Structure 1
């Protein structure tokens, strides 16, 4: 049975929100950040060390990801920890990777 028959039609507003999420996930550094924080919450400095990017670059991407709701910020004493809000985000990345790998 086709999955198309089970899929409901999205409104223009819903399609815009979905497209925005894909645009956010379309940046390799953001995916690298998500991959870095998917196992445990990390601070900006830990993310910088793990990715090799600059602190200002990481901060910019973290701000975008947090404001979109993809990641969360949690303050603990003087540190702010970043983590995935929903593990389904990484599952989506794995699904896309699986399809891309099939074409190789």
Structure 2
């Protein structure tokens, strides 16, 4: 992102903003297995079809999903599978951060016997 003009940065921010909502991430994850219609996605998520459609519309605006009308149903599929690589990268980073934080917490949460034994050796 070196020295990008403001309009380009705004486009990047809008892309990440589309990914910054748990419902939309859940919908993307459900679409990993292939295309689904709004009703199927709503049922799987436990949300209303209107709510799912609104989130899918935002994902479509950013080019993350494609929409196809068939009769009375709208089907959605992933437009670019690279979004999963991005999500996997972020999830891996979060997991590594959690591991580091757990290690730090563990150092402060040593069992009382271990702490007492450590003090008696001094």
Residues 1:45 and 2:20 aligned together: no
Aligned-residue CA RMSD in angstroms? 1.3
TM-score under structure 1 length normalisation: 0.86
Structure 1: gaps (5+ residues):
1-6
| Aligned residue among 70, 83, 100 for 1:76 | 70
The answer to whether 1:36 aligns with 2:42 is no
SS in 2 for 1:80: strand
SS of 1:38's partner is helix
CA distance in 1, matches of 2:91, 2:62: 22
- Say which one has the larger Rg: 2
Structure 2: where are the runs of 5+ without partners? 99-122
The structure richer in helix per residue is 2
Compute the TM-score of the two structures, normalised by the length of structure 2.
0.74
Structure 1 counterpart of 2:59, from 52, 60, 65: 65
